[in-house]
Structures are given as C-alpha cells and as structure tokens.
C-alpha cells in the first residue's frame, strides 16, 4: 500500500527551495505526499509556478496575510496572549510554540479539521515543529524535523532577544528527543544542537543543501580579466559586499565582478555600484539560469560575517555549495562553517579575513586556478543533491 507523508512548513515554496527538493524526492519515490504551506506575500506568485511542477503533491494552503482578517486577528491575539502566559508558565510547550511563531496556531487549526492518517510527518521550520509533534502524538505516527537553520542562533527581533533564544532552545530540548530522526543542513547545526542535550540525539543526519548536477556544466573563462561572482536575493548592506568593493575598484584593470540579485537603491547610492566600470549587474534569475551564470566565473565570493548571528557562523549557504558544484575557486570569509569546509576540502579555495591580500594572490595565480577548475568541478559533485538524496533514501529505509 502506498505510504503517506505530510510535510509542514511556515512559509511558501519559493522561500523554501530545500523543501521543494524534498517534495520532488518523495513524490518520485511513489509516496503519497501532502504539504502544508503558507501564502506570505513575497514569492507567492513564483510558488504557484513551482507547485505546477509538483502535480502529484497535495498542497494545503494557509494564509499568513491579513486576508482573511479573522484568521490573522485570532493568530495575532493568540501570539500576544502566549507571550504573556510564558512569562508565568515557562514550561508550557503550546504557549512557547505560539509565542515563537503565530503560524503554529494557524497550522494547529488546520490540522484539527484534517482527518487523514499519515505514515510519516516531517516539519522543516521551528514554527512547524509543535504541530508535527502534536499530530504525531494524536495519531501515533513517527515525525521528523529538518533543521535548515540553527534557530536559537538566528537573529531575532523580539523585545527580549535572550528570552526568545531560550524559548527556541526549550522547544528543541522538549521535542527533538521524540523525533524519529532529525536532519541538518550543515554539520555544525548538528554539533551545536547536541550541546542542548546531556546525551546526543539518536538518528541524526547531515543533508547538505546541494543542487542537481544537471544544472551545472564545466565552463572555462579565457578572458583577460578574472571573473568574480556573488549572488543573493538582495544586493544590500550587511552581506559582506562592502568589504570587497574597494578592492574591486582598486583592481579594475584586472578583475570583473558579476552581481546577481535585486540592487538596493540605498546600497547603490552609498557605494555607487552602478558607476563601476568592472561590475555587471544582473537581476533575479531562475535557479537554472543562475547556475549557468556561476559556471562562467573563475571565483565565487562567499562573504559571510560571523558577527551577524550564530546561525551565520554555523551555516553552509546555498551560495557556497553552488560555487563548489560550479567548480569555482572560493574566496571566503572566516566563519566557522566556511573554515571547516575549506580545511576539509583545501583544493576548493581559501578562507581569510585579509581579502585584498588574497585577491592579489588570485591575480598572481589565476592560470593555475583556471587549470584546476575541472578538478574542482568534479570534486563538487560530492555536494550535489544527487549525492545528498541518496543519504535521504537510506534514512527512509531505516524508518
């Protein structure tokens, strides 16, 4: 009989590419797949296109917007009440879950009217963990948690950030030991999570955020200028670019930078990006087109700043994984995760706080860097989703 799996998230598919890959995997393995997703405004139109490519997935949609008004109002009131209650009832799991994310309240309401029986429940954001845990208890069904970010270490905008950090730790401490298995998007997420427990959790697995190998092809750059690339949804302050732009300007006769994403007007005004003769600006690209552009470059910039938050220090971004798969030489700032990645795979690039020194070295050794691109490209296949999904298949065999 066909096994039934439900995925629960607190965002839409456009903002959760990892979930999209998992939905493709499970539907391709002939599971009956249901997914609870949200309309959140940004990216909803693109999410509809993604859904159309997953015809075998049953999507249950919830609005996080003010329409319908009553759902938004009730969840907002519930969140405020939960925050008040947890100041007195610190160990209330329900109150802490809703205080952390009011979408937990909306998911619970939706699940109460859903009578389907599932064989496995998978939650992939902290706001979805409590509903998955409760559904598991109610139906005696195993549940799993996929940690794409280290949630206690994410920057939070609570009136009392330390209380919110402790709340997130409490939610993980209370529910993760009950999970059938836990997956992590980076090795250090697993390491940091285990610090919350006296005894390490059982059945923990790292599933990197790789992409399908077919989206990348080996390209060689013969231009006289070295081609650097950087991308994100937004080209803005606080993403490390301000560290490299003076260097880009200084070596304008030797290097060219391609920026992919939406340029923030204030950032453009402050740094005059549009006036750089050696910077090409591309807007948002589809994933496939983005990866094609990456393959044309020589060097990928991974300029994460550990001072942003603990999560940023521990994470391996989609960006650096895609650079690996494109065969780029990586110039990375010294977050703990990036230091570990390059230490374990020294041929992939260099990690240093002295960016100008390393740009000079790249200029001096570009012939060797270009010559070794094929070796890096082949090595990058170990990070691909083709490889990572095989790990997932082995996990499912053991559930």
Higher pLDDT, 233 or 32: 32
How crowded is residue 77: how many other Cβ atoms within 10 Å of its Cβ? 12
Give the DSSP H/E element, type plus range, for residue 143.
strand 143-147
Q: Are residues 194 and 242 in the same domain?
A: no
Give the DSSP H/E element, type plus range, for residue 349.
strand 349-351
DSSP string covering 278-345: TEEEE----HHHHHHHHHT-SEEEE---TTS-HHHHH---HHHHHHHHHTPEEEE---HHHHHHHHHS
Average pLDDT of 157-175? Answer: 94
d(CA 193, CA 201): 9
Q: Are residues 196 and 345 in the same domain?
A: no
SS (H, E, C) 334-345: CCHHHHHHHHHC
Higher pLDDT, 237 or 152: 152
How distant is the alpha carbon of residue 275 from its chain centre?
Answer: 32
- 160-173 residues labelled b (16+ CB within 10 A) or e (exposed): eeebbbebbbbbbe
CB 295 within 8 A of CB 216: yes
CB 213 within 8 A of CB 381: yes
Q: Provide the pLDDT for residue 221.
A: 87
What φ, ψ does residue 37 adopt, rounded to 5°? -130, 170
Percent of the chain with pLDDT over 70: 100
pLDDT at position 311 over 80: yes
d(CA 125, CA 182): 12
Band (90; pLDDT cuts 50, 70, 90): confident
Q: Are residues 131 and 242 in the same domain?
A: no
CB 263 within 8 A of CB 269: no
Band (118; pLDDT cuts 50, 70, 90): very high
Q: Provide the pLDDT for residue 131.
A: 97
Q: Write the pLDDT tens digit of every residue in 265-297.
A: 999 999 999 889 999 999 989 889 999 999 999
Q: Are residues 135 and 224 in the same domain?
A: no
Q: Are residues 200 and 233 in the same domain?
A: no
Q: Are residues 377 and 393 in the same domain?
A: no
Angle at 349 between CA 344 and CA 354, to 5 degrees: 110
Name the token pair of 261. 């994403």
CB 325 within 8 A of CB 383: yes
Q: How many domains would you assign to the chain?
A: 2
Q: Are residues 29 and 144 in the same domain?
A: yes
Residue that has been written with the tokens 């209330």 in this structure: 92
DSSP string covering 3-16: -EEEEE-SS-STT-
Q: Provide the pLDDT for residue 274.
A: 85
Percent of the chain with pLDDT over 90: 86
Band (399; pLDDT cuts 50, 70, 90): confident
How distant is the alpha carbon of residue 47 from its chain centre?
Answer: 16
Band (383; pLDDT cuts 50, 70, 90): very high
Q: Are residues 204 and 226 in the same domain?
A: no
Band (115; pLDDT cuts 50, 70, 90): confident
Q: Are residues 224 and 205 in the same domain?
A: no
CB 110 within 8 A of CB 60: yes
Band (1; pLDDT cuts 50, 70, 90): confident
Q: Are residues 59 and 188 in the same domain?
A: yes
What φ, ψ does residue 299 adopt, rounded to 5°? -130, 135
What φ, ψ does residue 215 adopt, rounded to 5°? -85, -5
Q: Provide the pLDDT for residue 57.
A: 96
CB 376 within 8 A of CB 370: no
**CATH number where 49 lies:** 3.40.50.2000
How distant is the alpha carbon of residue 79 from its chain centre?
Answer: 25
Q: Are residues 200 and 290 in the same domain?
A: no
Q: Are residues 186 and 299 in the same domain?
A: no
Q: Provide the pLDDT for residue 332.
A: 96
Give the pairing of strands 255-263 and 279-282: parallel
Q: Provide the pLDDT for residue 265.
A: 94
- Nearest CA to 239 out of 293, 284, 296, 302 is that of 302
pLDDT at position 238 over 90: no
Q: Which domain holds residue 344?
A: 213-383
- Nearest CA to 190 out of 146, 156, 154 is that of 146
Q: pTM value? A: 0.93
- Nearest CA to 11 out of 24, 20, 2 is that of 20
Q: How far is CA 57 from CA 51, 246, 316, in A?
A: 8, 48, 28
Band (159; pLDDT cuts 50, 70, 90): confident
CB 288 within 8 A of CB 215: yes
Higher pLDDT, 317 or 307: 317
Q: Write the pLDDT tens digit of every residue in 46-57.
A: 999 999 999 999
Name the token pair of 101. 């994310």
pLDDT at position 305 over 90: no
């Amino acid at each position: 009989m066909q096994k039934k799996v439900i995925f629960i998230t607190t965002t839409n598919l456009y903002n959760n590419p990892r979930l999209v890959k998992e939905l493709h995997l499970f539907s391709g393995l002939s599971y009956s797949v249901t997914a609870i997703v949200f309309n959140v405004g940004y990216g909803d139109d693109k999410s509809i296109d993604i859904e159309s490519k997953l015809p075998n997935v049953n999507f249950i949609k919830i609005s996080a917007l003010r329409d319908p008004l009553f759902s938004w109002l009730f969840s907002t009131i519930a969140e405020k009440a939960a925050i008040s209650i947890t100041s007195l009832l610190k160990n209330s799991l329900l109150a802490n879950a809703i205080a952390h994310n009011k979408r937990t309240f909306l998911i619970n309401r939706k699940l109460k009217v859903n009578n389907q029986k599932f064989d496995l429940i998978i939650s992939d954001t902290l706001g979805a963990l409590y509903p998955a845990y409760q559904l598991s208890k109610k139906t005696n069904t195993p549940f799993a948690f996929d940690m794409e970010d280290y949630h206690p270490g994410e920057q939070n905008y609570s009136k009392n950030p330390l209380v919110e950090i402790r709340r997130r730790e409490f939610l993980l401490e209370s529910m993760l030991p009950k999970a059938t298995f836990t997956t992590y998007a980076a090795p250090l997420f697993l390491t940091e999570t285990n610090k919350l427990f006296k005894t390490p959790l059982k059945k923990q697995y790292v599933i990197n955020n790789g992409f399908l190998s077919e989206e990348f092809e080996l390209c060689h750059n013969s231009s006289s200028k070295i081609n650097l690339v950087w991308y994100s949804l937004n080209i803005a302050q606080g993403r490390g670019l301000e560290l490299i732009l003076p260097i880009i300007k200084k070596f304008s006769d030797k290097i060219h930078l391609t920026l992919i994403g939406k340029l923030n007007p204030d950032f453009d005004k402050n740094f005059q990006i549009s006036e750089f003769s050696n910077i090409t600006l591309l807007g948002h690209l589809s994933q496939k087109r983005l990866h094609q552009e990456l393959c044309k470059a020589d060097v990928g910039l991974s300029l994460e700043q550990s001072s942003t938050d603990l999560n940023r220090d521990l994470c391996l971004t989609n960006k650096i994984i895609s650079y690996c798969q494109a065969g780029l030489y990586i110039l990375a700032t010294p977050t703990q995760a990036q230091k570990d990645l390059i230490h374990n795979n020294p041929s992939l690039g260099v990690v240093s706080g002295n960016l100008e020194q390393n740009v000079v070295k790249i200029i001096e050794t570009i012939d060797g860097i270009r010559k070794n691109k094929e070796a890096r490209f082949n090595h990058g296949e170990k990070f691909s989703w083709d490889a990572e999904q095989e790990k997932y298949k082995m996990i499912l065999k053991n559930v």
